[in-house]
Chain A
Amino acid sequence: GNSVTQMEGPVTLSEEAFLTINCTYTATGYPSLFWYVQYPGEGLQLLLKATKADDKGSNKGFEATYRKETTSFHLEKGSVQVSDSAVYFCALSFVGSGGSYIPTFGRGTSLIVHP
């Protein structure tokens, strides 16, 4: 079956530090890949996505590149801010030949950014 593995947190950084959150996946077929962000007290919201190999998704200074050869979709940001403190979820979705569609999520990585 499909699965997503992301690094465990919490990840603790100082403001303006470089961020990487690793995400690797296992999937039959060619999934679309997503990063979602959950701010305290809120639901998950889409941060960025990529739908095919070598695509780069980007939003709010965050980037991730769909690497089919390493089955990875690592999230990066060059300079984090305190307001980036949140939980980040890597996810994939895929529609199987039989019409099955079950989005799959990683466990989430908590990011804490100190001033």
Chain B
Amino acid sequence: GAVVSQHPSWVICKSGTSVKIECRSLDFQATTMFWYRQFPKQSLMLMATSNEGSKATYEQGVEKDKFLINHASLTLSTLTVTSAHPEDSSFYICSASSGQLKGKAFFGQGTRLTVV
């Protein structure tokens, strides 16, 4: 149990275009989802916290208008990278948690974004 799925696993897009990444909890209802970014050889950095039915809370330095987060249901959160630039190329990872799981966070497999 407690499976989190991300889609797509990888994506290549042109500069200036937008890309949407989906994060789904497959077998539990996730009251909260989190989005992280990871650059090569570095640790995971939290970008934002997404609660179902409310606006996401962004970490300091993360542009909310560039990284749009929608958490429309208890099993789905989306991250849209708008007007992507090469410096947005990174590994994006989501996690999901719920009270049912005693607050434990379960991670998706990540999405490799390359902006050319």
User: Is B truly associated with A?
Assistant: no
